[in-house]
A and B are shown apart, each in its own frame.
Chain A
Amino acid sequence: MNPVLELDHDDEIVRELLAPFARVQPVTLRRRAPARRSRPWLVAAAAIGVAILVFASLATAGAFGPLHGASISPNPPTLTTAASSDLACNLIGQTAGQAENTLHQSGYQIEWRFQYWGAQTARAAGKNSPGAVTGGYATAPATVPADSIVWDIGADTRTSNTLFVFVEAPNDPNAPTVIPPTCQGR
Chain B
Amino acid sequence: MFEILLDATVRAGTPILFATLGAIINERAGIINLGIEGLMLIGALAGFSGTYWSGSLLVGVLAAFCASFIAGSIHALITVQLRGNQIVSGLAMTMFGVGITALFGKGMVGLTIDGFKRVAIPGLSQLPIIGKAFFNQDMLIYFSFVLVFLIWFFFYHTLWGLGVRSVGENPAAADTCGFSVSRYRFFAVTIGSGFVGIGGAYLSLASTPMWIENMSAGRGWIAVALVIFAGWSSPRAMLGAYLFGGITAMQLRFQAMGTTISAHILQMLPYFFTILVLVISTQRLQKGASQQPEGLGLPYDREDRK
A and B part of one assembly: no
The chain A residues found within 8 Å of chain B, CB to CB, are none
The chain B residues found within 8 Å of chain A, CB to CB, are none
